[in-house]
Structure 1
Amino acid sequence: MATERAHAWAADAIRRIREHRRGTPPTPLRPLPLPSARGDIRVYVKDESAQPTGSMKYRLVGAMFLHAIADGAIRRDTPVIAATGGAVAVAGARFARLLGLDFTAVVPAKTPAEVLAGIEREGGRWRPGERPPAAVQEEARELAARLGGHFLDHFADAERAVAGCGEPTIADEIFAQLGGEPYPVPEWIVTGIGTGATSATVGRHLRRHGHPTRLAVVDPENSAYFPAWASGCADYATGMPSRIPGIGRPRTEPGFLPGVIDLVIPVPDAASVAALRRLNGTAGFAAGPATGTALWGALHLVARMREAGTRGSVVLVMGDGADPYRTTHLDPEWVRSRGLDPAPYEADLERFARTGEWRTA
């Protein structure tokens, strides 16, 4: 009888998550004005800030809950624990509330107040980690073990969960939305990489469907992904945290699949901030810092296309919105205090907008 009840709860929980996701419309694909491209090249922004929790992590976390329930790792009374002070925690709290489960995020000491408020707003709890930020993952894992709970390990599990439970994927939506556009099969799709799940999802989609589209990943300073991709060293590590939230890691994570990636573009953090300012200013996109990184990489590709005389479209993924970063990356004083000088890169962006010329070094 207990087994029957457990199966019935799992079936109902999966149904509720799927209905919840079906009720969420595809996120917008918005054109980005690009005067220097003269219409031969179209750039689009896949706006994941329109997800219910304001971030593309909503997709990943929903798939992780489905996967864990199907595996029997989450049951009707299982506490769910996460180790993050970012968007994964907010999404985790939302899905836990949907299922009537307790949710706790173990967060680094300097987690922004906006994120903590988001966790609480979605019905979750948070507690500050008692160890250095690099050890928060292990601290959360130990807490889950003590409580008999499930540790929501987005670095280890997100890519696998999305591969099995993530449809419709972000790639499915992009190609459906481009169907009526002048260049329905893009030359490039550009995304950042944190867990590796999104780049793996897009890369697999391109190969399964035989699209000639290439996948470019942008990588901030201190991250291990560009040197790992360039050197072929699968366990490359820098040991240094990224200053661009949501992307970049001090080590290569299990979800990183270099074989599905065509190009990794390293982007200076000051360039990410400059592009972020342009997005939030003249372009009218209320985007987060990782989208600034993606824009810098996308413009690099647009310049390459122009030099080669290639027509077509480029899609960049906007992972989240601007609100959590008003007091950090969008605050000039905060940027200065981190030793970042966006001014030279802002000049590059202005020159590109006027002339189409792109810096070569």
Structure 2
Amino acid sequence: MSLTKSTATPPREGEEDISDLYPEDRGWVTECLSRLRDQRLQPKKTRLIEFPLPAALDGMKLFVKNESAQPSGSHKHRLAHALFTNALASGCLRDGTPVFEASSGSTAISEAWYSNELGIKFNAVMPSGTSEEKQQAVRDLKGNVILATAGEDLVTVARRQAEQSNGHFMDQFTYAERAYDWRSEHGLAPELCREVEPDWFVMGAGTGGTVTSVGRYARYTNRKLRVCATDPENSAFLPGWRDHDRTATDKGSRIEGIGRPRMEPSFLFPLVNRMIRVHDAASVATMRVAAQYLGIEPGPSTGTGLFGAVQILLGMQANRQRGTIATVLCDAGSRYTAEYYNDDWLDKKGIDYRAWMEPVERFFKSGEWQPPVNFSPAPRPSATLWNM
């Protein structure tokens, strides 16, 4: 659709009663919002899978919400719906305006999906090392891929590209917590709480939007639920949260979709009750072991969340507590066959997941926990990783 032009006479200098200065595209906005409210474009209610636990963990339950079943394949489908709704209602996204987003994977694919449905031109700014499969997934949805050079800040590149094209930078990192409607009875948090009453919700943070929305919903509805954010190696979130420092920085995460080299506006400290640092190798091992129990090969961020759930279960076991933990199957492993399911790729990155396989397998079989004795974390990245 072409940009609707204002027919108003340009205001004269000093004029103090001015109207119709901006193009009136209410009809197009109303049409788009109506389509987003249609059941076909609404995020789907997804299945809650009970993860089998050994007899030693009697009285404890672990549930995994399968967000890989969303139409665009990940929990970012909910975020994309919220971002488009917010941008349209706020007047940021106008008829004929192209959309730009900084993302290396799932958010780009989900926003491309909605852009395609709404007839909006979409541009994904991705790191130069993004796998061809993910780039093609965006292109298959009629999106355009712009590759940033190694080490470039994706957000800076995406914002610059949007400005040069007179487009709209969706900016998931800033607007995730504002766009999610945490008061609504439709969404991940209310779906979860209607089926079970979790004591803990555990998940890695990328933008922070999902953990923030769950924490807000729990407070708003007076739930007992507490939020634990699991953070990969070299991410700034844990030290920033721990030290009350919103200027904290680090090298960034090797686990796609979560962890950041800096604090992001949507990661709100007071809504997170606990944080757990998870080795990249432990994330990958837990991801691979979980596939045997879930019947679905999950992506690496699911492994990070599940490893955090293991640590909470161990604490409950030690304190003879009962309780329910919930986490998210963020996306399917089919997006990562060339990476986290590829041993050669992992070896080149120095991610020794094999050392963690036996401890994780033993825990899910018996409830016993013994971390690996001989294990070395992957070398610290030399350059900043914009892996989101």
Say whether the 8 Å CA contact 2:51–2:293 is kept in structure 1. no
Paired position in structure 2 for 1:340: 351
What does residue range 1-361 of structure 1 map to in structure 2 within 5 Å? 6-20=25-39, 23-129=42-148, 131-163=149-181, 168-178=186-196, 185-238=197-250, 240-359=251-370
Larger Rg: 2
Following the alignment from structure 1 to structure 2, what is the Cα–Cα distance between the partners of residues 258 and 220? Answer: 17
3-state SS of 2:180 partner: helix
3-state SS of 2:301 partner: helix
1:20–1:80 distance in 2 versus 1, CA, 3 Å: farther
For normalisation by structure 2, the TM-score amounts to 0.86
How far 1:237 sits from its partner (Å)?
Answer: 0.7
| Unpaired segments ≥5 residues, structure 2 | 7-19, 373-388
3-state SS of 2:62 partner: strand
Say whether the 8 Å CA contact 2:101–2:124 is kept in structure 1. yes
1:83–1:22 distance in 2 versus 1, CA, 3 Å: closer
3-state SS of 2:228 partner: strand
Following the alignment from structure 2 to structure 1, what is the Cα–Cα distance between the partners of residues 343 and 260? Answer: 25
3-state SS of 2:128 partner: coil
What is the identity percentage for the equivalent residue pairs of Structure 1 and Structure 2? 36
Say whether the 8 Å CA contact 1:93–1:123 is kept in structure 2. yes
Say whether the 8 Å CA contact 1:49–1:321 is kept in structure 2. yes
How far 1:25 sits from its partner (Å)?
Answer: 2.9
How far 1:219 sits from its partner (Å)?
Answer: 0.3
| Amino acid paired to 1:307 | A
1:223–1:21 distance in 2 versus 1, CA, 3 Å: farther
Following the alignment from structure 1 to structure 2, what is the Cα–Cα distance between the partners of residues 164 and 11? Answer: 22
Say whether the 8 Å CA contact 2:60–2:323 is kept in structure 1. yes
| Amino acid paired to 1:143 | Q
Say whether the 8 Å CA contact 1:82–1:140 is kept in structure 2. yes
For normalisation by structure 1, the TM-score amounts to 0.92
1:103–1:169 distance in 2 versus 1, CA, 3 Å: same
* CA RMSD after TM alignment: 2.0
Following the alignment from structure 2 to structure 1, what is the Cα–Cα distance between the partners of residues 76 and 42? Answer: 17
Following the alignment from structure 1 to structure 2, what is the Cα–Cα distance between the partners of residues 314 and 357? Answer: 18
How far 1:9 sits from its partner (Å)?
Answer: 1.0
Following the alignment from structure 1 to structure 2, what is the Cα–Cα distance between the partners of residues 36 and 287? Answer: 25
Following the alignment from structure 1 to structure 2, what is the Cα–Cα distance between the partners of residues 327 and 226? Answer: 29
How far 1:165 sits from its partner (Å)?
Answer: 9.2
